Amino acid sequence: MLDQKEVWLNTLKTSTPQEGFELAIKLSRMGVKSTQPNIEILKSLRPKYANDALGLTTASQVIALNFQTVSAANNYWK
């Protein structure tokens, strides 16, 4: 679990869609880190999912879902 005192997400607001997409990736990565805080285990699993089409597709879906959230928070940059 992430240290409760560690604040890394102050806002979902971004200046551009590109920044929003990068934030969506960060949200996704932090979700994995929160779920599996042991960095050694994460590193040991990386070769397996890095070569797994289903795992990569699933990761892309999580990023897309987070991008939808960030996009809505930014009123789709209108």
Residues 6+ apart with CB under 8 A from 49: 55, 56, 59
Q: Is 17 inside a domain boundary?
A: no
Q: Is 11 inside a domain boundary?
A: no
Q: Is 58 inside a domain boundary?
A: yes
Q: How many CB atoms lie within 10 A of CB 23?
A: 21
pLDDT of residue 49: 86
Q: Is 68 inside a domain boundary?
A: yes
Domain count within the chain: 1
How many helices and strands (H and E) does the chain possess?
A: 3, 0
CA-CA distance, 39 to 57, in Å (whole number)?
A: 22
Is 4 a residue whose pLDDT tops 70? no
- Among residues 14, 10, 9, 57, the alpha carbon closest in space to that of 30 is found at 9
Q: Is 43 inside a domain boundary?
A: yes
Q: Is 12 inside a domain boundary?
A: no
pLDDT tens track for 16-74: 999 999 999 999 999 999 999 999 999 999 898 889 999 999 999 999 999 999 999 99
Q: Is 7 inside a domain boundary?
A: no
The pTM of this model reads 0.87
pLDDT of residue 1: 53
Question: Which residues constitute the domain of residue 62?
Answer: 37-78
